[in-house]
Amino acid sequence: MEILNNWISGINDLLWSYVLIIMLLGCAFRFTFKTRFVQFRMFREMIRVLGDSANKAHEGEKHISSFQAFAVSLASRVGTGNLAGVATAIAVGGPGAVFWMWIIALLGSASAFVESTLAQLYKRKGKESFIGGPAYYMRYGLGLNWMGILFAILISVTFGFAFNSVQSNTICAAMQGSFGFDPRIVGAVLTVLTLAIIFGGIQRIAKVSSVIVPVMALGYVALASGIVLFNITELPAVIKLIVSSAFGWEQAAGGTIGAALMQGIKRGLFSNEAGMGSAPNVAATASVTHPVKQGLIQTLGVFTDTLLICTCTAFIILFSGAPLDGSVNGVQLTQHALTLEVGKAGGIFVAVAIFLFAFSSIIGNYYYGEANIRFITPKKSVLYIYRLAVGGMVMFGALASLELAWSLADITMAFMTICNLFAISLLSKQAFLLLHDYIAQKRSGIKSPVFDKNKLPELNREVELYNDYQRQRLYVTPGLSCYWQIAPHRNEMSFDEWVALDLKYIQERSFWVDWKIIFLTVRAMFMKYGE
């Protein structure tokens, strides 16, 4: 087991030290500037649209509201990342890790906006409700069916297996620390409860989450606010400590700035999931009049998770004077901090809170997996097997070490995020067009903008479902370029002309044709075709 953990840790160091930091921050900066800081200038609009009810559904349809979609996604976001993840980040990366969690939330919220808006644009009607997510905008937006399937596999493994193992591990650690409960017994109870709820489907998940999440979040924030007010005189010193630890000379000399940066981004992403590709799966299920509405709502979810709840945990730990030398880690550090602040009841409160936080995350995580299993195959037998496997991983997490559980989560999260960031970078123009349309309608006096694809001809060819003839282009594995990419007037082509070129390539493809296209693609880049 130790060898496996060391091997996974080595891969994680490579991915999180270089690849993910560059990609996450690069996309976050680009989307922030391209949307003209949508996460800040449209904050009031986020609050307003959150209250929008679901559109009136047709008979036999069971759409969920914007608020319910927000609650389900928040159920996944708000969990061990807020209590255990923050504690781990501080213990390993120092107080400066909190600063980088703030940065990735503030900038990464633009990525959350883009991915959830795209999820609404490319969603499809299921039997009873809407379905969608990254796998769908990879298939229907990019035309890359293989990429959609790859992402569906990655997210099913990441959330259904790895993340749920972390949630279970944290619950068991908290229960053992406060009450001395045997992890095996707690794990068995969690497994039974998980299976009972996930066999109920998205409607039951939405109902449970819309009740549990607001109550538990408000309770935790209320407690943290009380602690902050009690220690208000120390607040400037704590904020100074966070900022100085992120940039200070002492940290630079000790080489801990890099650790703070890596831990802050890693644990920040685990908690808020901005750009990861998870929230779009539930964002697509909401019934809204315009895709931008759900993009704004999911952006608000990032703020709620990191800037509010994660910050509460950080302040509790730093106010308490709990040891940050690594002797106490994970959720037990948070428990220890609260015990120092409010007595023995603090540790008990964390144990109860972590159970509610993490358990809601388990059922929220499962839904992401279920939605993507359905994308891969409609066979109910496969879905039932997946549900049982999720229950098994909940039990595995109860018995695994903290290091192994987090390492598995980090590596699967990294690959999943890389896949999604590539997709939303290629499709981001669509989100920008939709945002422009939404703002134009608001400025014209329309209180609740409505999406009309006919008024956005740039999107028409992307939104329509393929017919049988057009679907032929999805039956082969696409490459990085094609005949359309090297056409001088590609943006003036109709959708039918575009598809015809793809089918022409399928008929003519060969080793030499591929090299010809590669050469002409380089020329197209220098000639700036399509700009």
Helix axes 202-230, 331-342, angle to 10 degrees: 40
Two tokens, residue 334: 């948070």
* pLDDT value for 463: 46
Q: Between residues 515 and 264, which one has the greater pLDDT?
A: 515
* pLDDT value for 452: 80
- Average pLDDT, integer, range 268-281: 77
Per-position DSSP letters for 83-141, written without gaps between them: IIIHHHHHHHH-THHHHHHHHHHHHHHHHHHHHHHHHHHT-EE-SSSEE-SHHHIIIII
Residue 182: CA count within 13 A, CB half-sphere: 4
pLDDT band for 169, please (50, 70, 90 cuts): confident
Per-position DSSP letters for 34-68, written without gaps between them: HTTSHHHHTHHHHHHHHTPPPPPPPTT---B-HHH
Q: Would the pLDDT of 413 be above 80?
A: yes
Q: In angstroms, rounded to a whole number, what is the distance separating the alpha carbons of residues 106 and 57?
A: 35
Which residues, 6+ apart, have CB-to-CB distance to 354 below 8 Å?
Answer: 80, 83, 84, 170, 171, 174, 331
Q: In angstroms, rounded to a whole number, what is the distance separating the alpha carbons of residues 75 and 70?
A: 8
Two tokens, residue 357: 């936080």
Q: Between residues 136 and 499, which one has the greater pLDDT?
A: 136
Q: Would the pLDDT of 57 be above 50?
A: no
Q: Would the pLDDT of 59 be above 70?
A: no
Q: Would the pLDDT of 116 be above 60?
A: yes
* pLDDT value for 404: 80
pLDDT band for 114, please (50, 70, 90 cuts): very high
* pLDDT value for 176: 82
pLDDT band for 254, please (50, 70, 90 cuts): very low
Q: In angstroms, rounded to a whole number, what is the distance separating the alpha carbons of residues 513 and 198?
A: 49
Q: Which range, 171-185, 212-226, 259-273, 354-368, is most confident? A: 171-185
Q: Would the pLDDT of 460 be above 60?
A: no
Q: In angstroms, rounded to a whole number, what is the distance separating the alpha carbons of residues 517 and 524?
A: 10
* pLDDT value for 135: 94
SS3 string of 385-436?
HHHHHHHHHHHHHHHCCHHHHHHHHHHHHHHHHHHHHHHHHHHHHHHHHHHH
- Average pLDDT, integer, range 50-77: 59
Per-position DSSP letters for 367-378, written without gaps between them: HHHHHHHHHH--
Two tokens, residue 464: 């329509």
Instruction: List residues bridging with 130 in a β-sheet.
Output: 125
Q: Between residues 212 and 143, which one has the greater pLDDT?
A: 143
Lowest mean pLDDT among 19-28, 438-447, 488-497: 488-497
Which residues, 6+ apart, have CB-to-CB distance to 256 below 8 Å?
Answer: 93, 94, 96, 245
Q: Would the pLDDT of 279 be above 60?
A: yes
Q: Would the pLDDT of 149 be above 90?
A: yes
CATH 3.40.190 given to domain 2-51+68-440: no
Q: In angstroms, rounded to a whole number, what is the distance separating the alpha carbons of residues 388 and 405?
A: 19
* pLDDT value for 118: 94
In this structure, are residues 333 and 92 in contact, taking their beta carbons and an 8 Å threshold?
A: no
Lowest mean pLDDT among 47-56, 314-323, 447-456, 509-518: 47-56
* pLDDT value for 54: 43
- Average pLDDT, integer, range 403-417: 84
- Average pLDDT, integer, range 437-463: 77
In this structure, are residues 353 and 359 in contact, taking their beta carbons and an 8 Å threshold?
A: no
- Average pLDDT, integer, range 299-321: 83
Two tokens, residue 291: 């895709």
- Average pLDDT, integer, range 259-263: 68
Q: How far is CA 119 from CA 112, 159, 294, 379, 496, in A?
A: 11, 18, 9, 24, 24
* pLDDT value for 501: 81
Q: Between residues 267 and 113, which one has the greater pLDDT?
A: 113
Only one residue has tokens 């730990």, namely 317
* pLDDT value for 474: 55
Q: What's the whole-model pTM score?
A: 0.74
At residue 331's C-alpha, the angle toward residues 270 and 232, to 5°, is: 95
Two tokens, residue 233: 């005189």
* pLDDT value for 273: 73
Q: Would the pLDDT of 79 be above 80?
A: no
Q: In angstroms, rounded to a whole number, what is the distance separating the alpha carbons of residues 496 and 482?
A: 15
pLDDT tens profile 175-191: 887 788 888 898 898 89
pLDDT tens profile 89-103: 787 778 888 888 888
Lowest mean pLDDT among 101-110, 181-190, 305-314: 305-314
- Average pLDDT, integer, range 426-453: 88
